[in-house]
Amino acid sequence: MRVVFATVALCFAVVLGVPVAHAGSIERFQAFVRSTQSARADFEQKVYDRNRKLVQESKGSFAFVRPGRFRWSYAKPYAQTIVGDGEKVWVHDEDLNQVTVRKLARAMGSTPAALIAGNADIERAFVFSEAGDKNGFEWLDAQPRDRDAGFERIRMGFSATGIEAMELVDNFGQTTELRFLNLQRNPKLDPGSFRFTPPKGADVLGE
């Protein structure tokens, strides 16, 4: 499963622009959690091995409504859709016509998706720390408290206008980098976007 649940969920990533002047990355993130109930954006994703060799590039879009409803769609290089409906998480690999389903609480936990689409009480799942400035962003580290989370840390990058990037390092030294484009905060989203019905003839695996 790719980043949203690659571990993640998810996984996923924190991504909304939340302007907070003269604030550190922790304060910016807290403001994001408090003020953002829904969002949508496009993303570009790159995956590097432990030697920083580029092994995959992909593009897509995502949207979420707190708590626990999200849609993460990969358009390239392979079509894959991940939908959280508030109770379950559905992963549809279109080329295989295969659907994997898991209970939402089990799938999210200490994952990138929990940072985006979960509730405000996320400090139980992550330890946060300031990570300094790099590449024009101010970075925040989020380390999962769960040792079995499948990744070592998530790093979120803030510009002057808000959260714009995420990096996820897994337990094998592989790094997934995400950049967010065309971000909209608190848009009105179609509730049907967060429901999923397996396509006719698809193999359905899981809970």
What does the pLDDT look like over 179-200, one tens digit per residue? 988 888 899 999 999 999 999 9
- Which of 80-94, 119-133, 151-165 is the most confident on average? 80-94
Q: How many domains does the chain have?
A: 1
**The pairing of beta strand 203-206 with beta strand 98-103:** parallel
Q: Is residue 11 part of a domain?
A: no
Mean pLDDT of all residues in 68-88: 87
Query: What are the tens digits of pLDDT across the range 84-94?
Result: 898 998 989 99
- 99-103, 111-115, 125-129, range with greatest mean pLDDT: 99-103
Are the beta carbons of 127 and 24 closer than 8 angstroms?
no
Residue 71 near residue 62, CB atoms below 8 Å: yes
Q: What is the mean pLDDT of residues 51-66?
A: 91
CA distance 52 to 115: 26
- How far, CA to CA in Å, does 184 sit from each of 111, 181, 188? 22, 9, 10
- CA 72/CA 42 separation, integer angstroms: 10
Alpha carbon distance 13, 38 (integer Å): 14
Q: Is the pTM of this model over 0.85?
A: no
**Is residue 63 situated within a structural domain?**
yes
Position 3 pLDDT exceeds 60: no
Q: Is residue 158 part of a domain?
A: yes
pLDDT > 50? residue 204: yes
Instruction: Give the span between the Cα atoms of 134 and 141, in whole angstroms.
Output: 13
Is 84 inside a domain boundary? yes
Instruction: Give a yes or no: residue 5 inside a domain.
Output: no
Segment 130-155, tens digit of pLDDT: 888 888 888 988 888 877 777 788 88
What is the Cα 64 distance to its own chain's centre? Answer: 10
CA-CA-CA-CA torsion sign (95, 180, 112, 56): positive
DSSP assignment of 11-44, as one string? ----------TT--HHHHHHHHHHH-SEEEEEEE
pLDDT at position 107 over 90: no
43 is in which domain, residue-wise? Answer: 25-206
Kindly report the CATH number assigned to the domain that includes residue 102.
Answer: 2.50.20.10
Does 74 score more than 50 pLDDT? Answer: yes
63-90: average pLDDT? 87
What is the CB neighbour count within 10 angstroms for residue 12? 32
pLDDT of the residue at 126: 78
Residue 102 has φ and ψ, to the nearest 5°, of: -140, 155
CB within 8 A of 27, min separation 6: which ones? 20
10-55 tens-digit pLDDT: 444 333 434 444 457 777 777 777 778 888 989 898 999 999 999 9
Query: What pLDDT is recorded for position 9?
Result: 36
Residue 19 falls inside a structural domain: no
Q: Parallel, antiparallel, or unpaired for β 88-93 and 98-103?
A: antiparallel
> Does any domain span residue 18?
no
What is the pLDDT, as a whole number, of residue 21?
42
Amino acid letter, residue 54: L
**Nearest residue to 15 (alpha-carbon basis) of 64, 87, 60, 57:** 64
Q: Is residue 12 part of a domain?
A: no
